[in-house]
Amino acid sequence: MRVIAISTLKKFWEIHSETKLPLSEWYVKVCNAEWKSFADIKNDFNSVDFVGGQRYVFNIKGNSYRLVAAVKFTPKLVYIRFIGTHDEYDKIDVSSI
């Protein structure tokens, strides 16, 4: 899979340094993935949730942070739509991102 854009992750971990390792690990795992369905994502990330509109929520650093990504299986693209704390996630409308 190709992740768009790693710069989003880098900006986030520059502010939240404790997320650099877990986000780096997430990025490497996703880049090496060959996902064709939600089941494939679930095999790599057991706690991932599908929230509609091709969007998936990943728990980062023991669910302290959440990453929302739009996954396009056919072109093998993963678009980072949101990353933030669990509390920040609770305040957004996932369908609008």
Q: How many CA atoms lie within 13 A of 94 on its CB side?
A: 21
With respect to residue 97, please indicate whether it lies within any of the assigned structural domains.
no
What tokens does 71 get? 């996954």
Work out how many domains the chain is built from and give that number: 1
Per-residue pLDDT tens over the stretch 59-87 = 999 889 999 999 999 999 999 999 999 88
CATH number, domain with residue 8:
3.30.2310
Is 90 exceeded by the pLDDT of residue 97? no
Residue type, 56: Y
Q: Are 78 and 71 in contact (CB under 8 A)?
A: yes
What is the pLDDT at residue 92?
85
pLDDT at residue 16, as a whole number: 95
Average pLDDT over residues 17-46: 97
What pTM, to 2 d.p., does this model score?
A: 0.93
